[in-house]
Amino acid sequence: MQKAWAVLMLKYLITQVPVVFHHKQSDLISILDSALDMHGNYAKWNRSNLERGAISLNLQRRWRPPNPDSLKINIDGSHLLGTMEGAIAFLCRDSKGRLTEGLARLVRASFAFQAEILACLYALRHFADQSHMKLILESDCSSLVSCLKDSSLSPWDVEPLIFECISLLALFENLEIVF
């Protein structure tokens, strides 16, 4: 059963996320082993959440929920070295860890930092109509957080993207940016 699940997951990934396999020879056995590991982790986390109806304590140690009157938006971007291909994602969760909104998509990016900025930009655009809410925007990219707080730190090749993010930040009444 697990092998069948792994094969289905692999076929899905190859068709839906071609950037992962683009121009690369892949070792099917190692991919299947990784898929089995991911499936085991998925089943482990979801079983505990479903049984208890709550977030796992291990997850709470890594992810800190916002206050009950806030939403937390986690953003991330990645880039496939040697290409113009990247991926971005954002997740929005409430104080109980429940997913309220999210997005994942492929983007054109020249380097990882550009993908991180694009993740921020897409999230800010998405939540602009909710600018009255108390929001926390969290990134694992300290350079991005620094540039958003002080635009003079922006490298020249990403200045336009940083400035667009900063102009969108001005729309929000109560948004905190954290690393």
Encode pLDDT of 58-73 as tens digits: 444 467 889 999 999 9
Region 133-138 average pLDDT: 94
Domain shared by 68 and 48, yes or no: no
Domain shared by 16 and 40, yes or no: yes
Residue 6 CA: distances (Å) to CA of 2, 9, 125: 6, 5, 35
Give the pair of three-digit tokens for residue 22: 């683009």
Domain shared by 78 and 157, yes or no: yes
- Report the pLDDT value the prediction gives residue 112, as an integer from 0 to 100: 94
Region 71-90 average pLDDT: 94
Region 65-84 average pLDDT: 93
Residue by residue, DSSP assigns 85-137 as: EEEEEEEEE-TT--EEEEEEEEEE-SSHHHHHHHHHHHHHHHHGGGTTSEEEE
Domain shared by 97 and 139, yes or no: yes
Q: How many domains does the chain have?
A: 2
Domain shared by 78 and 164, yes or no: yes
Domain shared by 83 and 166, yes or no: yes
- Report the pLDDT value the prediction gives residue 9, as an integer from 0 to 100: 57
**Residue 159 structural domain:** 63-178
Region 137-165 average pLDDT: 94
